[in-house]
Amino acid sequence: MISHPATPLRGIAEVPGDKSISHRALILGALTVGETRISGLLEGEDVLATAAAMRAFGADVIREGDGVWAVHGVGVGGFAEPEDVIDCGNAGTGVRLIMGAMATSPIRATFTGDASLRSRPMGRVTGPIELFGAASYGRTGGLLPMTVVGARNPVPVRYRVPMPSAQVKSAVLLAGLNAPGETVVIEAEATRDHTERMLAGFGAALAIDDTAEGRVITLTGQPELRPTEIAVPRDPSSAAFPVAAALIVEGSDITVPNIGLNPTRAGLFETLRDMGADLTYENMREVAGEPVADLRARFSPEMKGIEVPPERAPSMIDEYPILSVVAASAEGQTVMRGVKELRVKESDRIDAMARGLEANGVSIEEEDDMLSVTGLGPKRVPGGGEASSRLDHRIAMAFACLGMGAKAAVRIDDAGPIATSFPVFEDLMNGLGARLARSNR
Ligand code: S3P
């Protein structure tokens, strides 16, 4: 993909449904007897892989229309043993949550994924599910392909999540669903809480206490989940791309409607406002217990680099790639600390951003746990270079946005991964005024 400097971005950007919530809706629907109806489901490759996996575990998963799906589940503990390998594609959330969900049923399943997923650590999930009585056999280093043998007589677990990870927390809670008694998960820093909210929505007994040691979540096992209707909100992590592009492309003024501003997800928008972005929340309202707003973003030539508060990292963990693109256009240094989890995402996102920014004339500094970008402000990002997307949708979209605000086009070696989370990205951005083109080189 080649991203030429954009014309002013203007209009309404209707971004797709939330990826995190979409995975969870399908998985919890599959664990519920009766019909769970879902609207606004993200129909990206990651979520479609989870839908296929839920069918393989015995649920009926039916697409009824655009984003409208029905799931007839098998109930807690009702998963059947899949007849074939479960291929989760590029989706870390998919594979880790599904491993948790099947770990306390007396079945075994073998999981694999694409080259990116096969290089990502699974030990962070197999460790805790072994405490329930499950076993796992993967490649050296806890890598996929991996077979998980579910516990025949699961015991409940008390587990302190050692890194800030909503995927690990969620895997433990989903495993706890089919263990008798109380499963307790403790997280030192709050991460996205969609699993907790959705479990409560399906009628599970769940208590959350904020204590000196962190957030303590207590789940009572073996509940009878009640089917429900889920309207998936639009994804703030996808909204981040048109918002960021509008801030750095001269003359832009866009609105991104209906974006969830759950505090565990909204860290990027707060950070952009701290940098001086002209980003406003319009029509603030509450939908299904979540704060929602229309985001209005306008060209912001006055943005300044800042030190991003490290405690904000869990609420914007997927947004550091696009933040570093905005930082390249702001004036002065933006320092991002406490970000070493970025090294084990779909790619090593610190390295991917550092190399691609350098190739396009932006200076960076990098440590194991830190990325700092020296913004060019009014001098503008030169562009003219190539960036490698490394099987990582957010890296591909971040560099597409870099090209929109740069002096010369930015080339991305492979835009294919964008389809995992934002299949309409190219058309949507070009509809606003971007100039994304495909190259045959
Ligand atoms: C996610 C959690 C985060 C995030 C990922 C989605 C989730 O991963 O990066 O894109 O839906 O729970 P970690 O749990 O590894 O931080």
Sketch the domain layout of the chain as residue ranges: 2-16+233-437, 19-221
Pick the catalytic residue from 235, 318, 348, 427: 318
Whole-number percent of the chain with pLDDT over 90: 98
Per residue in 146-187, pLDDT tens? 999 999 999 999 999 999 999 999 999 999 999 999 999 999
Give catalytic status of residue 294 as yes or no.
no
Say yes or no to pLDDT of 290 above 80. Answer: no
- Give the residue whose CA is nearest to atom 16 of ligand 1: 165
- Give the residue whose CA is nearest to atom 9 of ligand 1: 318
413 token code pair: 């070696």
Topology (CATH) of 19-221: UDP-n-acetylglucosamine1-carboxyvinyl-transferase; Chain (3.65.10)
Domains 2-16+233-437 and 19-221 share a fold: yes
386-401 b/e with 16+ CB inside 10 Å = b? ebbbbbbbbbbbbbbb
Per residue in 13-32, pLDDT tens? 999 999 999 999 999 999 99
Whether domain 2-16+233-437 has CATH 1.20.1730.10: no
Counting ligand 1 atoms within 8 A of each CB, the residue from 18, 165, 167, 237 with the most, and so the one to mutate, is: 167
Q: How far is the CA of 4 from the centre of ligand 1 (A)?
A: 31
Q: How confident is the model at residue 276 (pLDDT cuts 50, 70, 90)?
A: very high
136 token code pair: 């796992």
SS (H, E, C) 141-190: CCEEEEEEECCCCCCCCEEEECCCCHHHHHHHHHHHCCCCCEEEEEECCC
- Give the residue whose CA is nearest to atom 11 of ligand 1: 20
Q: How confident is the model at residue 291 (pLDDT cuts 50, 70, 90)?
A: confident
- What is the maximal distance between C-alpha atoms in the chain? 64
Give the list of residues 6+ apart from residue 212 with CB closer than 8 angstroms, or none.
Answer: none
For helices 236-248 and 425-432, what crossing angle results, to 10°? Answer: 30
- Give the residue whose CA is nearest to atom 15 of ligand 1: 165
Show the ligand 1 pocket: residues with CB < 6 angstroms: 20, 93, 165-167, 170, 192, 317-318, 341, 345
Closest atom of ligand 1 to 24 CA is 11
Q: How far is the CA of 194 from the centre of ligand 1 (A)?
A: 11
> What pLDDT does 441 receive?
59
